[in-house]
Amino acid sequence: MAEDNEHQQAADFGVIIRAENGDIVRFDQTGLVMVLADDVIEDIARRLPKADGVPQPGIGWIDPMVLGDMDAWDVRRDGEWYVFQANLAGKQGPRQFRRLIAADDADSAPGVIADGAGPVWGLLALGGARRTTRFDHPMSFPWHVLAPADEIGAVGYAGSETAKPQSALLALPELTRDAALGDLLVENQFLNHQALSLVMARAETDSSASIQALGSGVAYDNLITAIHSLKACAARMGRPAALMSIGLDYTLEDVQSDTRTFVGGVLELIAKLTADIAQLGLRCPPILSVFDCGTHDLNDHPVLRAQWDLAWQGAEHGLHYTAPGYMFRQDQTGRPDLAALHQMSEMDACALEVLHNEGDWACPTFLLAETEPDPKKIRVKARALGKLVIDTSDPFGAGPSCGFTLKGASNAPSLVDVAIAQDDPHDMILTFDKAPNGKSLELLYAFGVDVARDALDYPSACGAIHDGWSFKSCTGATLHRWALPAALPVW
């Protein structure tokens, strides 16, 4: 009797076909049961018409209109993100993008960003108000160069309030120097068929009256917050964060320091910045500056002279002068025009490429001036990465002196010749009509030159010496590593 019951139960349920991943065909009291794969179910669902006769989309299909009216397709969800293909404005062409499904701030729309490769790079800057010069000008890669999603853009808070960390990125409303640098770096990757990076740009400034105040002010705190935001944005996308560069442009904004105090303050600021970045688990990147050459009216100042000390010793601390300011056009307030902003970013980009490849970047720097055996001649020794060149085209109007001026002579000697030394291509030989007399002779280069300028023109302090390096700018100009200003005692 027990055997009959077991036979009856066995006949009510069983498996006819079984595969490694499970049953395919089985039977029970209702009949045969077939197990279908998910893709088969989706295909059937796609073929079945709705009540209005329109085929149903497959399971997981997302209407691209959830992104708004843009040329997008292949939309899918990845956690809190929409990931999709799109053909958007910019040189990048059709490629993959992403956007948060819902913005962190209910009053804001989530921003579209490129799905870049590798670490999220930070291009940050600290300084005075001139560092925040901006233009209403499009970028070539607007979805790759972005800012923290606080809707402030790449210019920061200007010391008006304390920033809060962000974990999302937004496109930039305007072009700044940091944005132009990021745009150029991505374009170089694009032209070389390399993976395109995602870049976060932000410059923080305030009204600090001294370099010491800058290192302890709101702008500095906001810069550190920007680094927190960089890490949070990268982590949210499951990627690492890295700092590409930090710009430091703060000179004439300091109305309290003398030369020695300014030099010490800059080095203290760099040491503090390096330590604070290390505490965040990141490496301090190259710190880039343009050697400030003053304005149309101001061509010599203790703080401007302090940069010469930083030029020859700053590289040991991570500070690099990418160019002298006299090679960039500016208005009467010392702010660059659009072409100059692009040229500044190009010099920064060229320097970064060399520095990140463990190379050296240095504009010619005059280190020593000494009287030759012929007392009418003064030899000026330079540290340079190539042979010195006297640019006979004199693009900045330095005149026959090439930017050199002798101070402190009691007998008013005239400079009659400037030449490259025949025995050393890194030395200059200055010849005067008579031997200069004086106990405290001082030789200036690109300081104290009083050249009349138009409303939009170069600083009045300038020179005509560079090394053999050159770069063709997008503005049409040929850029050089022009020699940095110097103030040297004559021995």
Write the pLDDT tens digit of every residue in 122-145: 999 999 999 999 999 999 999 999
How large a percentage of the chain has pLDDT more than 90?
Answer: 79
Q: Do residues 187 and 141 touch, judged by C-beta distance below 8 A?
A: yes
Does the structure show a pLDDT above 60 at 387?
Answer: yes
Does the structure show a pLDDT above 80 at 55?
Answer: no
The residues of the chain that CATH labels 3.40.50.1110 are 116-356
Task: List, in order, residues 6 or more apart from 20 with CB less than 8 Å away.
Answer: none
Confidence of residue 7 (pLDDT cuts 50, 70, 90): very low
Confidence of residue 474 (pLDDT cuts 50, 70, 90): very high
Write the pLDDT tens digit of every residue in 457-470: 999 999 999 999 99
Q: Which of 7-11, 116-120, 354-358 has the lowest mean pLDDT?
A: 7-11
pLDDT of residue 393: 96
Class of domain 116-356: alpha beta
Mean pLDDT to the nearest integer, 250-274 = 97
pLDDT of residue 56: 47
pLDDT of residue 36: 72
Mean pLDDT to the nearest integer, 260-266 = 97
Does the structure show a pLDDT above 60 at 369?
Answer: yes
Average pLDDT, the chain: 91
